[in-house]
Amino acid sequence: MRDIRSELQQLREKLRRMEQREASLEQREVGRAAPELASESVELPPWESVSADSEFEASLTTVSSLTDWHVSDEGFRPERVPATGRIMGSVEECVAGKEVETASGKHFQSETLYECGLVHGNFEVSGLAGLPGSTITALCPAHQGGGSEMWAFVDTETIGLAGGAGSFAFLIGLGRMTEQGFLVTQYFLREPSEEASVLESLAQDLSPFATMVTYNGRSFDAPLLETRYRMARQRIPFAEMPHLDLLFACRRLWKQRFESCKLTNLERDVLDFERVGDVPGFLIPSLYTNYLRTRDAGSLVPVFQHNALDILSLACLTSLVGATFENPELVLERHPTECVGLGRWLLQMGRRDEALPFLWKAANSAIAEDLLARTLWEIAIAERQMGRYAEMQKPLRQLLDFPNRLQAQALEALSILYERRLVDLDEALRFAERLMQMQPSPQNASRMERLTLRRARNRTRRLLE
């Protein structure tokens, strides 16, 4: 088993040596500077204007000062704000919360309430209250019932994305809907040794819920937490709980419309909420490492808020996406690429009659030609699966009206359709000839020869009759 305290001590010693080396290099550069430059007053970036700190240390000050205005008495609070504007102190001084004791030890816990009257972008928090279980069942069929008060929204902040036994979550957020509003509880490790206590407290709080909701949680959050529970020899609280990973539904609905389906991007593009001064995700592991070294939690304040906003946005998107999949007809009035996503989802569910209006809505709109070709092909396949062979002609013929990579397949399908189902050998041969011109091959030549002979025999038979 890894000795965490020993590794932290080695990390502190390494950082100390790096600071000494940077200070020595800085002194050399100052000695080499030209006299005329030394006398000038030059405005430098924050990390260059502080000679006593390393570039990384100064960047922490910059992050804290950027997010200082977000802090409120309801969640994150500054107890000591020096002249520099940076929040400083222990986590108890910087974040509103308390120490919680469990059978496995102690840890720090914070709660932030987003009241029902709050507007998150274009979404009111009150819209999360009283949602029926059917809203989430459309996305997660394993959901056994219960409205929005039975959904647990979970997100983690970790020391890295590498995974494995050495990776752990130093901050875990749990959001749920209450009578007062949307409540986010955050479980924080002041020391890695507090992990067992955090896991036990999280397990207790998860027990009343019916379904766990995450964003990319199946690939990251859930496996990470499962590993940590096993290492702590504790029962995995969500092992039997239905798990909705909203990322897949969001991709299905919006990947054709937006460049990225990252949570923060959808927060901006769908919820119309723009974060100001948000801490970059890649910096979060370093901020926690710095906290372990200095015990100054000031730079972690934006991390707490980053985590809380992720959970609030996740809950709002769950409501919007769930309502869309629960009542698909709502999408007909929205962007055509959303119609494509919903139509494909309905096809996968076997609801072909419901899917076709959405796919035709998209096909009759201004969408990219590649997407249009795939949509028309999916319509033709759906019509064939329902045995509606005459209706297959329209999407297949439309595929021949513009350049696309499915034209050869459309010609082949039309030739087969007229030969076997609609019994029109003249049309079947005509499409086979066009296919042969586009893609000469022995198989296509054989098809033309067979159709020519069949047509000749049919004509002879009619003459004899």
pLDDT at 3 over 70: no
Alpha carbon distance 79, 93 (integer Å): 5
Q: Where are the domains of the chain?
A: 4-58, 73-326
Q: Are 244 and 213 in contact (CB under 8 A)?
A: yes
> In terms of Cα–Cα distance, which of 187, 192, 227 is closest to 206?
187
pLDDT band at 34 (very low <50, low <70, confident <90, very high): very low
Rounded to two decimals, the pTM is: 0.79
135-152: pLDDT as tens digits: 999 899 999 888 999 999
Superfamily of domain 73-326: Ribonuclease H-like superfamily/Ribonuclease H (3.30.420.10)
Alpha carbon distance 242, 213 (integer Å): 9
136-195: pLDDT as tens digits: 998 999 998 889 999 999 999 999 866 667 899 999 999 999 999 999 999 999 999 999
Q: How much of the chain, in percent, has pLDDT values that exceed 70?
A: 80
Q: In the prediction, which pLDDT does 96 show?
A: 94
Averaged pLDDT, 222-235: 96
Averaged pLDDT, 385-399: 96
Q: Which residues of 1-31 are buried (b: 16+ CB within 10 A; e: fewer)?
A: eeeeeeeeeeeeeebeeeeeeeeeeeeeeee
